[in-house]
Copies of this chain bind each other. A is one copy, B any other.
Amino acid sequence: MAGGDEKKSKAGGGDAKKPNAGGGAKKPNVSGGGKKKEVKKETGLGLVNRKDENFGEWYSEVVVNAELIEYYDISGCYILRPWTMAIWEEMQKFFDAEIKKMDIQNCYFPLFVSPGVLQKEKDHVEGFAPEVAWVTKSGESELEVPIAIRPTSETVMYPYYSKWIRGHRDLPLKLNQWCNVVRWEFSHPTPFIRSREFLWQEGHTAFATKAEADEEYLAIPVIKGKKSELEKFAGGLYTTSVEAFVPNTGRGIQGATSHCLGQNFAKMFEINFENEKGEKGMAWQNSWAYSTRTIGVMVMVHGDDKGLVLPPKVASVQVIVIPVPYKDADTQGIYDACSATVASLTEAGIRAKADFRDNYSPGWKYSHWELKGVPLRIEIGPKDLANNQVRAVRRDNSAKTDIPRDNLVDQVKEMLDNIQQSLFDAAKQKRDACIQTVKTWDEFVEALSQRKMIFAPWCDEEEVEVDVKARTKGEMGACKSLCSPFDQPELPEGTKCFASGKPAKKWTYWGRSY
């Protein structure tokens, strides 16, 4: 799963956020109000901005016009409309089932953290402190002690892990929660990608279990690897992640991450247990998360100038059926054929819906559902009725196919599978075309100016990364390491670090990032 994750690294604070990827803070003037009136005048629902020309404005426009998001009167907070929630529910349904298969249990810990607990792990709190929201008042009364809103729940949960874990039989302890978290960021809020409140799941396991999201689910190609010391989760031992890439902006984006917390937190929170021999042990812990941020990545990667393009697996409407009546034609027959089509597809487990609204033309409906990203459109007109067929139009490539009605379900299933795979393949191809391998600083600078995702041999030294960030700091934001892939190409003896000239230790991806 190309999950979006917002777990915090030491270096996560400022520089990477400069560029305004989404133009998100501004309210676009194309939003919903009065739309229907415009519609009656215009035939199309076209977007004003084009993805290749003005990516940030395009993104803001598409998330609003496709009714994923409504801008809210508090900056950095967004309303997740039903079209978004349906996607998130599909993702939850899938992932929650996976979680349960792994014998991980759901729980719910409080939204609030007391300052003493929050500050227990020093590196951890330093990573999060600047953007913690504090409750200091209730009604008219000042609280005796300010109380933090969780930016993540390690410090919320682990004191109780310490209490619940006594003996080896209490391990592994594997809990997950679906909840909201708050990070009061001030730089460039962008719907889904960078918001002050977001929804996620956070898994917290004491004793190792590897949790890795299915990367195919959103049809987004990702690179699995390990984060650098500078970019790892604050307070953890090491962090692995899946990294996606947005070709249009040349920016990497961290997907789902897993953090091996090692024993750092166990030490601070005294998560100890007595083993079989009666000896004292200290728990090893992992935490991992993925969030609504993934939805933003999906929009950025697959969307086009007509709007959203939803992968069938997460689309709440996979097939939209549209009647195309014509003057003298058998309108009732067409409507009945539409209803029958929806019924057959629904029965076969396909999420299908018909649009029978009589105040919109078929053409308007085509544009509307294209804007909303529905993977497959089925049109039924007089000719289709006569031939006992339907016309299917793919959202991803506009290909039209006539399907005999008695072969409907099989062919639609196949097309949906095909769309899912094509979206992944197309995204991978575009992403791969953006990857450039470099060996020297000059090549690196050149590739960065071309918005590439850069693959380079590195000495793996923290000060060198700090230096790279300092030297690339500019209007577009600094470049940083994304991850060192698990799958390492050969590194011939004598290869030098692209940045320091010292002996290289590993291949690492670099780029600007969200």
A interface residues, Cβ below 8 angstroms from B: 32-34, 36-37, 70, 72-74, 77-82, 84-86, 88-89, 105-114, 117, 129-140, 146-147, 149, 159-160, 163-164, 166-167, 169-170, 175, 179-180, 182, 184, 186, 196-197, 199, 359
Contacts and interface: CB of A to CB of B under 8 A. Distances in A.
Given A34-B166, A132-B139, A133-B137, A109 B180 contact: no
Contact of A107 (B32, B79, B112, B130): B79
Nearest to A182: B111
Contact of A137 (B81, B86, B146, B186): B146
18 contacts: A32-B163, A34-B166, A36-B167, A36-B169, A74-B113, A80-B108, A84-B108, A85-B105, A88-B108, A89-B106, A108-B199, A111-B182, A111-B197, A130-B140, A132-B138, A133-B135, A134-B135, A134-B138
Contacts of A129: 139
Contact of A184 (B139, B149, B175): B139
A73 B139 contact: no
Given A72-B110, A130-B138, A137-B146, 12 more contacts: A32-B163, A73-B114, A73-B159, A74-B110, A74-B113, A74-B147, A79-B109, A80-B107, A82-B175, A130-B139, A133-B135, A133-B138
A508 to B, nearest CB: 31
A174 to B, nearest CB: 10
A296 to B, nearest CB: 15
Contacts of A36: 166-167, 169-170
**Interface SS of chain A:** mixed
A108 B186 CA distance: 22
A470 B113 CA distance: 39
A89 B85 CA distance: 18
A35 to B, nearest CB: 8
A394 B370 CA distance: 56
A421 B148 CA distance: 45
A107 B89 CA distance: 10
Nearest to A128: B139
B108 A160 contact: no
Contacts of A182: 111
> Which 3 pairs of residues, A with B, have the shortest CB-CB distance?
A138-B184, A82-B105, A77-B110
A131 B139 contact: yes
B82 A107 contact: yes
A197 B134 contact: no
Contacts of A135: 133-136, 149
A483 B107 CA distance: 34
A86 B100 CA distance: 11
A137 B136 contact: yes
Contact of A164 (B32, B37, B78, B107): B32
Given A89-B106, A139-B130, A159-B73, A180 B111 contact: yes
